[in-house]
A and B are shown apart, each in its own frame.
Chain A
Amino acid sequence: MITVIQPGLYTTVQDQGRFGFYGVGFPPSGSMDLYSSAVANILVGNPAHAAVLETTFVGPTLEFERNGRIAVTGATADITIDGVSIQPWTSIEIKKGQVLAFGGISAGVRNYLAISGGIGVQPVMGSRSTYVASNLGGVEGRALLPGDRLEVLADSESHTNRNRFETPEYLRVSPLQHHVIRIVPGLCNYLLDSKSQQLLTAETFTVSTEANRTGYRLTGHQLNFIEREQPFGAGSDPSNVVNLGYPVGSLQAPSGTELICLMRDAVTGGGYATLATVISVDLDILAQMKFPETVSFEAISMEAALQLRAQRGKRLQSLVELIDAVT
């Protein structure tokens, strides 16, 4: 068991996501930065589907009631055990009675805390991920509160030999204040006028203060849509379409005034024209960005998007091999 002394700003239980129900309105949820979350699990010897804690800006203070192994990845944060600083991206032993505390962050947004065995909340529809908007999964479908007690599942023996393994620098993520985010154009992109199509990839957009697990609002440039007779049932604004499905990562521009990128708690559909989709690898990067950091978009092919996805898989595999080699 783990007791939540302070929950932090917005800390939720997440795993790799909930699949198979997008068609009836359930987003995948799961860790916003899937790469960092996967590294944390690898460092403590957990299976890939184990549930971790995801923090937002201000992490929690937690008391451990059992010996185990932990790893914290993601944002750059000050983390202590009983007041003594610990290394991030490192496999660390924690003992019964010790208190893990998150201090302020200096880069990024979200930390991932993996605990050997994984968080043992009841899976809902195949996943332990919290989806707060529909009160689903995690701890009673909500963010952590003071006094919550989290069950930790029995851990395998594989973690015991990982003592103090440090993830090499090149396998960590480093949140910056500007990132190039890669997109695959498509969907209703044809509704943008040609100038706006160019503007989307030529200009810089700023992450606004309205940026959460459902979506990131990005401001900076007015986009314009082609003039057409609005389809029946679409609504009168040129950015309106007859409600359609929204891919996770898709970009839309309500009335053209700002961009919204849908994240892992996406609404699964709606009535705004979708313009392009952020590739899954770069959704991890966007998830670590905040106001007033900036992005520019680069259009890439499906071929390139799939290669980048495969590279992420190889990076995780190489971490597993490195750990196996030293133990």
Chain B
Amino acid sequence: MPEISEIAAPFPGVFYRRANPDSAPLAEPGQVIAVGRVIALIEVMKMFHEVQSAVAGKITEFCAEDGDAVAMGQIIAKIERQS
């Protein structure tokens, strides 16, 4: 079984997969990413914060939609770990 890492929202806010409405998503399901890769943004207190992956691996799923309000600790993406 591959090991799945979950990425949780570090604080509540509005979840975005794009840096701005017209640009491509920061990351796509199926993509292989390195540690520290920015996969999404969370807007809180009128500031945008980058959500980085703490692990290397393949993104299997985003668990929130662009523009969703997410709670602190809510899972926003899953990564299949690769070492």
Chain A interface (Cβ within 8 Å of chain B)?
9-10, 56-58, 104-105, 208-209, 212, 290-292
Contact = CB atoms under 8 A, between A and B. Distances in A.
**Among the interface residues A57, A104, A212, which one has the most CB atoms of the partner chain B within 10 A?**
A57
B41 to A, nearest CB: 13
B12 to A, nearest CB: 4
B56 interface: no
Interface in B1-58: 10-14, 43-47, 49
**Among the interface residues A9, A105, A208, A291, which one has the most CB atoms of the partner chain B within 10 A?**
A291
A9 B11 contact: yes
Given A9-B11, A209-B12, A291 B45 contact: no
A290 B44 CA distance: 11
A292 B10 contact: no
Contacts of B63: none
Contact of A58 (B11, B43, B69): B11
Interface in B47-80: 47, 49, 69, 71-72
Given A9-B11, A57-B10, A290 B72 contact: yes
Contacts of A292: 12, 69, 71
Contact of A57 (B14, B69, B72): B72
Contacts of B69: 208-209, 291-292
20 contacts: A9-B10, A10-B45, A10-B47, A57-B10, A57-B11, A57-B12, A57-B44, A58-B11, A105-B72, A208-B69, A209-B44, A212-B45, A290-B12, A290-B72, A291-B13, A291-B69, A291-B71, A292-B12, A292-B69, A292-B71
**Among the interface residues B11, B14, B71, which one has the most CB atoms of the partner chain A within 10 A?**
B11
A208 B12 CA distance: 9
Contacts of B10: 9, 57-58, 104
Interface residues of B, number: 14
Contacts of B47: 10
A209 B64 CA distance: 15
B72 A56 contact: no
A292 B72 CA distance: 9
A209 B72 CA distance: 10
B44 A9 contact: yes
Q: Which 4 A-B pairs have the closest CB atoms?
A: A57-B11, A291-B12, A212-B45, A209-B69
Contacts of B43: 209
Nearest to B13: A209
A290 B42 CA distance: 15
Contacts of B71: 290-292
B59 to A, nearest CB: 22
A290 B13 CA distance: 10
B54 to A, nearest CB: 13
A290 B74 CA distance: 13
Contacts of A290: 11-12, 71-72
